[in-house]
Structure 1
Amino acid sequence: MNALVTPAASNSSDLNNLAGADDKDQQLRDDIRHLGRILGDTVRSQHGEAIFNIIESVRQSAIRFSRDGDEAGKKSLEQSLNSLSNDNLTRVIRAFSYFSHLSNIAEDQHHIRRSRAHLIAGSPPKQGSLAFTLSSLLDSGHKPAELLEFFQTALISPVLTAHPTEVQRKSILNCQMVIGRLLNERDRMQLTPEESAANEEALNRAVLTLWQTRMLRTSKLSVLDEVENGLTFYDYTLLRELPNLYAGLEDLLSQQFNSNPAVELPSFFKMGSWIGGDRDGNPFVTADILEKTLAMQCGRALRFYLEELHALGSQLSVAQLLVGASDELLQLAAHSPDQSQHRSDEPYRRAIAGMYARLAATYRHLLGGEPVIHPTGDAEAYQNVEQLSADLAIVHRSLLSNGSAALARGRLRHLRRAVDVFGFSLAPIDLRQNSDVHERVVAELLASANPECRYLEQDEAGRIQLLLAEISTPRPLASPYITYSEETQSELSIYRAARTAQDRYGKAAVPNCIISKTDSVSDLLELAVLLKEAGLLHPQEARLDVNIIPLFETIGDLQNSAPIMRHLLSLPEYARLLASRDNAQEVMLGYSDSNKDGGFLTSGWELYKAELALIDVFAEKNVRLRLFHGRGGSVGRGGGPSYQAILAQPAGAVQGQIRLTEQGEVITAKYANPEVGRRNLEVLAAATLEASLLAKTEPAPKPEYLACMDALSEHAFTAYRDLVYETEGFEQYFWESTVISEIAGLNIGSRPASRKKTTAIEDLRAIPWVFSWSQCRLMLPGWYGFGSAVNAYLAANPDTGLALLQEMFVNWPFFTTLLSNMEMVLAKSDLNIARRYSELVNDEQLRNTIFNRICEGHSATITALKSISGQSDLLAANPLLKRSIRNRFPYMSPLNHVQVELLKRYRNGDQDERVRRGIHMTINGVAAGLRNSG
């Protein structure tokens, strides 16, 4: 590998040099070469020069084939691979996979380096930063009071999910963290020769550890494994960086407004989680799992607070002989079990020791066991997190009132914020279940209580009448003397566990219940009945203890979402319950399934129209709308850059409150590195603020824009459905030309790949659907149908069509973002590689027919995109991504070719474990190279 043998660059760093694209990227290239050289040396030392030469030969053959795509290149590549033993193929896979991982590390470090360089140089704030957004708002005439009012009711919540596209082991991630830290050290410090040598040795050691660490899991992940994986991102980033974000924003506002005292904001930005609560199609999520998940989350939060309190106590050595303290602080100190004479004049330390003792007692009460550092004595446990917050506030006020405001701005400030944000439950857990399950459970409960009640035979009006009667009476429906089906017992158990969790950890522990596949009002009322049975809905008080959230997923569901919500909000019984939730109703929109159902363009457009219709309905009913965006990591599942996606929402859709899912490998990319994580959190906050306040002044899209999108969507929908659902043999083509069968066997998640035991595309989950197309480099769900739709539209509007599309691209953020995301997907596709996957299809005629259609659609889409955007090359306006692809793809493409070779061997009967393991390793490597694959 050329990049693996290039001499390492100097470790010097000139952060002040901001001139010229070549200069900007030189350090990135140096880092990639440096890490590549270390990896190459590692391969040589572990396996010899011959293996290294084999890897280099495969790389060169793959590059020639990707560049030329001719038959000679194909034969050369096949000969290189066919001659390799299974063991050597495995080594080739590992080399290219780890090179992708190392390139990712270097790229993340370069983003941090460039951001710091701009800050050091005093450059103007960049778009996406809070500084830029606040400046824009003030320049546009918004007053400080208006901004502060925004934060009083705002809610921003990224929700971590455990969907099976995260293919990295935590052990691999730990190695990467070490390598990133060492690169960061080289950037920020002027190292002595001895320090430089030590850093280099540590880098070599870290890469060797990475090489010798098993890439794959040996067993399938359990739900609790997924919970533990999700919690690591709190350790890496979230527990510290969210409080840092608040501190930075408060300081920025105080500076902008010249505020004295300093601005203190409510905790409007909080994390959420589906991990351990998402039961839709996952039978392994039970009441017991929910209880254990909550305990694990609570343990992570309490241990962090205890560690911070212990450190804070060591820092606040303020002596009463020198500085005064408030009476309430002195009372805290007096009640502390720490009465050591050595600290008799150190009231802050004694007060904090008392708080530590109370929190340790809370730990014992909620979790059992003892904290790592034992308290100085016994104390009463905190009954709730508000009591802990109140004690911390006493310390804060005492410092402020006694000339020690600077001390209040350090660790104490961040701990107070962490306690307020994370509470005793760390992150709210959403419960999610399919509406079909709720329907069966309620039907069984009603039939058991009254055999004459034939709920499933009722029409929608009859069902609503029955359900409203049930949620209006305090009489329980379920009986302890009746034996219900396993499904019904499981559902009742998990809602009862949620009620217990609220009593134990606080109302914030389990605040949301989501209904997948919502297509009627009765779907929401069925859940209300189950909540009443668990004591989470109180008829006599007209009170709900959780939010009932519909999830509209398919194209048809999105189109019906507004009529369903209008009917629901018109029911007096439901309106009374909603009043107990501050008259705010959350609605979740499903990006993944709508895409699989209707294609990329139609999904995006129907989501947009659904939001417009919902905005009107909620304004009519005077209810606050909070949208929950079920976005995936990839564009084929509604992903793409979060900042642009939020700004592209229609006016009135954000309203200061937004929740969105963070799924799969995107979690690692966004939150494994603390500085990258902080930047991603800031982007979400800035975009929400900007979309809420600046969107009010944005003009509505022109009627001709809407009509154009309707026409494009209709054509794209027809083209997509015709290929995917109506072309005979397409299902066979998909299963044979992709790694879907092998993905189903990869130990990357607790959830099955399909909802039912069939190969039907209708039953396949959206995640493995997109993941499979990404692996074979076609990315079909992210673009198919657009080209034919544009061609049909231009044929119908030959004189004005192109000009209108170009105008929409320039002036309409929704359309701009849609095409930008599609462009990103197309840039990652490679038809020459995809053609090799198509050769896995046994039926030659089927193979040629479908692949040729896909190629025609691909060509038409790229042509249409270039015509509309005015660009001669893909990503001409996105040099960062173009650079990333240029750096990484020559080393990722060989993995695709090796994957094809191994699939051939495996499907032809070679059941060698090394072959199966090799396929799974290529899946890992390609996913790492793409960075957002499913």
Structure 2
Amino acid sequence: MSEQNLRRDVRLLGKVLGDILHNQEGPDLLNQVESIRKLAKQARSGDTGSWDQLRGLLKELEVSEAKLVARAFAQFLAQSNMAEQHHRIRRRRSYLASETFLKRSPDEVFRSLIEKGVDPKELLNITSNLSIELVLTAHPTEINRRTLLQKYNTLESILSELDDCKEGSVQEDLALNSIRSVLTEIWLTDEIHRQKPDPIDEARAGLLIFEQTLWDALPTFLRELNRSCQKHLGASLPFQAAPIRFGSWMGGDRDGNPFVTPQTTRHVWAMARWIAADLYWREIDALRSRLSLNQASKDLQDRVGNVREPYRHFLREVRDRLDNTRTWAAALMEGQTPPDLRIYRHADELKADLMLCYNSLCSTGAEIIAKGKLTDLIRRVSCFGLSLVRLDVRQESTRHSDALAAITKHLGLGDYSSWSEEQRIHFLNAELASKRPLIPLDLECSEEVQNVLDTFKEIAITPSGSLGCYVISMAKKCSDILAVELLQKAAGVANPLPVVPLFETLEDLRHAGATIDHLLSSPSHLQIKDIEIMLGYSDSAKDAGRLAATWALYKAQEDLLRVTQAHNVSLRLFHGRGGSVGRGGGPLRLAIQSQPPGTIQGSLRITEQGEMIQSKFGLHEIALRTFEDYFSSVVNATALPSAPPKPEWRSAMELLAGHSVIGYREIVRNHPNFVPYFRSATPEQELGALNIGSRPARRKKGGGVESLRAIPWVFAWTQTRLLLPSWLGSGVALNQLLDSEHKDVLLEMAQEWPFFRSTLDLISMVLAKALPDIAQYYEERLVPSDLHNLGKELRSRYHKAVEGILITTQKERLLEDNLTLERSIELRNPYVDPINLIQAELLHRIRSNNSDDQLKDALLITINGIAHGMRNTG
């Protein structure tokens, strides 16, 4: 579909915003914004005079002016983002209305794979057993207030109405008035988070996405998938199939977040149960009003007796039981003892009741009714269960060691923390096999240790189906995993949660295979059949740079697959990817097609973080497209896995990774001026004022980059447009090999190896988005002159990275194969540039001991605006 409609929408929204500026703030602001916009466009086209004039103009703005100008540009960018989202929906509808298969839809996937020789029966088996779990996290990267998100979603629906209006019609006038009204509401709404959320607030906001879109979008996708199965594979999708499920870390992730307590976790899973029961109650109530039929099967009649309307009678019982479930969950949320009521405790109970109705309808000639809303509801139960999401618990490995140390000291066994790995494993295996209690009733311990022990007690009393797994962050050794298994046993957990080690540094990834081999060889694990292992993309990239981390993750997956196959254990990988490239993000299709062969076997668990939740699921049809992307990528990777890399490619990649990590760490870890430069040249110090997450920005107080979490690390560099975490080290590595005998191999890899090609594509995209001249302006305004040489070195490395990418990919421009993105960046830059220049000036004033609240508000608006322009934060 033509981009003309998108340009029309952007022009329309821009004109309406201009009218609002004129009406609400006066003509002077509109004229000022227009002058700045024109200067920015001229400057970005190479006019140095306009660049100097723009900098001078923005430097002299009063804070009240700076705030309004930044708001105007920020809102234009946010509106443009929504227009682009709507255009994606428009394109999807256009495909569906034509005879052309929508790319990456189930229809297109099945047709393509069958043409390539895949047996339809095999495809049906893959599809029926597919397991994609999307784990929603509360990582603080969503800078928009929920109020504004809802208004932008309303704007999208009005744009959709406008598409169907005839020019000059009454309907068009009404739609245009609605757009003016919504955009005025947005302008007059405070966009700043005034209060920091607590973990329950985060979870409540996160669960709203189910009511907003997912509750309806998932059964819509499953209807589409079922139709494609019937059309191409000759069979229906089984009722028990749950190709997409959801998990969550909101309220369960206590790693570095002291505000997540056992009580928090209980409140959140109970809240999820309440919302699920409420959504099911509404569906049953609507279904009951429709099923006025008086004929039913003998099984159903036996349940309800001789009544006139058996379905309504039976569904009233189901509805009442769901109402009881809401009452039960509400009591738990309030910290009260729930009343003794007949509730739904297991999803199978609800599904059995629904299947009774389904089978009855089918057996009495009403199959067409059974295959409508009732089928949607049954499929919801298969995918959402009784709690919408399974809540993971996450804690850092040393917290478990500290708990065991407190126990061993109290028992007179010594200090667990000081034991060798062999001593720890011997103790843990012995205690796992022992029947005696481990934790003394009179144990005296710190508040931190008690919190860990109380968490395991909470797990022990949580109903099945509410929790997912126990993730150990910063897992390094076999004992880290056994420790959690022992603490679950000691707390009396009847059905222990799967323990999932998270390997997230370069060193830990290198040893992941050996660690799991050691674990699977221990006495307590000789009989296990499956294991889940999480890989950390964010911290590994912060530790070693994106290029080296990407290769380490690839090899770790190969090692883990080899080890688990040797032990005859099924492996499931859990990918902890962020939204930005610097934290493992990027186009899903590229990410999955570049995984090692055999590591995606119809199963994928992956995080969806922060702003990506709204971006991927905030609108019904965008959510459908996201489901299609996941489905097509995983089915393709399972049915036709990529070929293993050639030995010479592996050798070259080893060299690249080695050069890359050296090039990255010699700056980030070893350069004496890097930390002071980073803190001066970026808004890292000010990001904590955003109030967008409950979790502290640092794992520990003080320290350098290593103590900073990956999100603010990437967020800070995104704000200054240097995007350093995503490319630093890659230029050094590529140029080293291009100047060696490995050049031809490198060029071949770029053309023929999907893993390497997708890695280069992502780095190319980041380099195209980056603007060193903007970063240089921050340096000029904020960084002491004795640190400027480091900035000069970073910009030099950026240009060398661009040069290395272009030679390796044999292209003249970074995005010559992606003209749509190239054009989008070109169009956005003149709107983002002024916000950057204003931000640098505001930071200069704030750091000159000016603590004016107006300045801080203006700064927060610039942070929001740049995030809108870059389409992600951290």
The superposition leaves residues 116-146 of structure 1 with CA deviations (integer Å, 9 ceiling, x where unpaired) of 11222211341x3222222222223222332
| 1:34 counterpart letter in structure 2 | L
Select 2:770's aligned residue among 809, 829, 835: 829
Partner SS, residue 597 of structure 2: coil
- d(CA) in 1 for partners of 2:797 and 2:304? 73
Return the letter of the residue paired with 1:239. W
> Which residue matches 1:373?
none
CA distance in 2, matches of 1:69, 1:291: 60
The corresponding residue for 2:489 is 532
Kept in 1, the 8 Å contact 2:240–2:379? The answer is no
Change (3 A) 1:262 1:564: closer
Spell out, residue by residue over 1:810-850, the C-alpha distance to the aligned partner (whole angstroms, 9 max, x if none).
21110011011111111111111111111244421311x11
Normalised TM-score (structure 2): 0.97
* CA spacing shift, 1:379–1:599, aligned 2, 3 Å: closer
> In 2, distance between residues paired with 1:317 and 1:192?
46
1:460 aligned onto 2:421: yes
Deviation of 1:151 after TM superposition, in Å, equals: 3.8
Partner in structure 1 of residue 587 of structure 2: 641
Structure 1 residue 764: deviation in Å? 0.7
Check conservation: 2:266, 2:332, Cα contact below 8 A: no
- In the other structure, the counterpart of 1:339 is none
* Equivalent residue, structure 2, for 1:353: 316
Which secondary structure does the structure 1 equivalent of 2:172 belong to?
Answer: helix
**What does residue range 334-373 of structure 1 map to in structure 2 within 5 Å?**
334=305, 345-368=308-331
- Say which SS state the counterpart of residue 430 (structure 1) adopts: strand
Partners of 2:750 and 2:332 in 1: how far apart? 60
Secondary structure of the corresponding residue to residue 44 of structure 2: helix
1: CA distance, partners of 2:825 / 2:98: 28
Q: Which residue of 1 aligns with 2:804?
A: 864
The answer to whether the aligner puts 1:609 opposite 2:571 as a matched pair is no
How far apart, CA to CA, are the structure 2 residues paired with 1:369 and 1:805?
59
Tell me the CA shift for residue 575 of structure 1. 2.7
Q: Label 1:69 to 1:731 Cα distance change in 2 as closer, same or farther (>3 A).
A: farther
Secondary structure at 1:625's aligned position in 2? strand
Whether 1:671 and 2:617 are equivalent positions in the alignment is: yes
CA contact (8 A) 2:663 2:729 kept: yes
* 2:840 pairs with one of 882, 900, 923: 900
Match of 1:196 among 172, 191, 203: 172
1:281-680 equivalences in 2 (<5 Å): 281-318=256-293, 320=294, 324-334=295-305, 345-368=308-331, 380-448=342-410, 450-502=411-463, 507-536=464-493, 545-576=496-527, 578=528, 583-680=529-626
How far apart are 1:74 and its partner, in Å? 4.1
Partner of residue 125, structure 2: 149
Q: Which of 197, 200, 203 does residue 224 from structure 1 map onto?
A: 200
Q: Secondary structure at the match of 2:843?
A: helix
Alignment CA distance shift 1:719-1:408 (3 Å): same
Displacement of 1:56 = 1.5
Q: Is the 8 A contact 1:357 1:379 kept in 2?
A: no
Residues 1:726 and 2:670 are matched in the alignment: yes
Asked whether the 8 Å contact 2:247–2:468 carries over to 1, the reply is: no
Residue 130, structure 1, aligned to residue 96, structure 2? no
**Number of positions where the alignment pairs a residue of Structure 1 with one of Structure 2:** 868
1:192, CA displacement in angstroms? 8.1
Which residue identity is paired with 1:353?
Answer: R
- In structure 2, the CA distance between the partners of 1:54 and 1:652, relative to structure 1 (3 Å rule), is same
Alignment partner of 1:881 is 2:838: no
- Structure 1: which 5+ runs fail to align? 1-17, 19-23, 336-343, 371-377, 539-543
Code of the aligned partner of 2:380:
A
Structure 1 residues 67 and 475, CA gap change in structure 2 (3 angstroms): farther
In structure 2, distance between residues paired with 1:418 and 1:710: 46
In the TM superposition, what is the alpha-carbon distance from 1:759 to its structure 2 partner? 4.3
Q: Partner of 1:90 in structure 2?
A: 67
Match of 1:541 in 2: none
Q: In 1, Cα distance between the equivalents of 2:454 and 2:127?
A: 37
Give CA deviations for 1:539-598 in whole Å, capped at 9, x if unaligned. Answer: xxxxx521111110100000000000001001121233x3xxxx1101111111111111
Name the residue aligned to 1:843: 784
C-alpha displacement of 1:268: 3.2
**Is the CA contact (8 Å cut-off) linking 1:250 and 1:264 kept in structure 2?**
no
Please give the secondary structure, in 2, of the residue aligned with 1:782.
helix
The Cα of 1:87 is off from its aligned counterpart by: 1.2
Q: Is the 8 A contact 2:278 2:322 kept in 1?
A: no
Distance 1:25 1:149 in 2: 39
Structure 2 gap ranges (5+): 334-339
Q: How many angstroms does 1:883 deviate by?
A: 3.2
CA displacement at 1:113 relative to structure 2: 0.8
Match of 1:771 in 2: 715
Match of 2:682 in 1: 738
CA distance in 1: counterparts of 2:362 and 2:630, whole angstroms: 32
How far apart are 1:106 and its partner, in Å? 0.4
Q: For 2:640, which of 678, 682, 694 is the aligned residue?
A: 694
Q: 1:492·1:533 contact (CA, 8 Å) conserved in 2?
A: no
Q: Which amino acid is 1:567 matched to?
A: H
Distance (whole Å) between structure 2 residues aligned to residue 32 and residue 768 of structure 1:
31
Equivalent residue number for residue 336 of structure 2: none
Report the residue type matching 1:670 in the other structure: K
Deviations 1:433-470 (A, max 9, x none): 1111111111111221x223332222111110001111
Residues 228-267 of structure 1, C-alpha deviation per residue, up to 9 Å, x if partnerless?
12112111221111122222111210111333x7754511
Partner of 1:923: 863
Q: Distance in 2 between matches of 1:193 and 1:74?
A: 44
Q: 2 CA distance for matches of 1:56 and 1:50?
A: 10
- Following the alignment from structure 2 to structure 1, what is the Cα–Cα distance between the partners of residues 806 and 499? 44
Q: Which amino acid aligns with 1:821?
A: L
For 1:338, the equivalent position in structure 2 comes to none
What is the match of residue 79 of structure 1?
Answer: 56
What is the aligned-residue identity percentage? 37
| CA-CA distance at 1:69 after TM superposition | 7.1
SS of the residue 1:910 aligns to:
coil
Which SS does the other structure have where 1:511 is aligned?
Answer: strand
- CA shift for structure 1 position 773: 0.5
Matched position secondary structure for 1:289: helix
Provide the C-alpha distance between the structure 2 equivalents of 1:317 and 1:882, rounded to a whole number of angstroms: 57
Matching residue of 1:44: 22
Cα deviation 1:90-122 (Å, max 9, x = unaligned):
111111111111001100111111121122221
Q: What do residues 895-919 of structure 1 show as CA deviations (whole Å, max 9, x unaligned)?
A: 1111111111111122110101111
Distance 1:887 1:241 in 2: 32
2:204 counterpart of 1:241: no
**Contact kept? 2:588, 2:629, Cα under 8 Å:** yes
Please tell me whether the aligned partners of residues 106 and 631 of structure 2 are also in contact (alpha carbons under 8 angstroms).
yes
Per-residue CA shift, 1:287-340, capped at 9, x if unaligned?
Answer: 01001111211111111111111111122232x2xxx321222234449xxxxx
RMSD of the TM alignment (CA)? 1.9
The alpha-carbon deviation at position 368 of structure 1 amounts to 4.1
For 1:476 and 1:172, how far apart are their aligned partners in 2?
A: 53
Counterpart-to-counterpart distance in 2, 1:556 and 1:725? 15
| 1:710 corresponds to | 654
Instruction: Say if 1:66 and 1:832, in contact at 8 Å, map to a contact too.
Output: no
Q: Does structure 2 conserve the Cα–Cα contact (< 8 Å) formed by 1:666 and 1:931?
A: no
Look up the equivalent residue of 2:170 and give its one-letter code: E
Q: Is the 8 A contact 1:513 1:546 kept in 2?
A: yes
Alpha-carbon deviation of 1:420?
2.1
Contact 1:669 1:931 in 2 (8 A): no
Query: Once the two structures are superposed, what CA deviation does each residue of 1:650-676 show, in whole Å capped at 9, x if it has no partner?
Result: 101111111111112111111111111
Aligned to 1:181: 157
- Give the residue type in structure 2 aligned to 1:929: G
* 2:462 counterpart SS class: helix
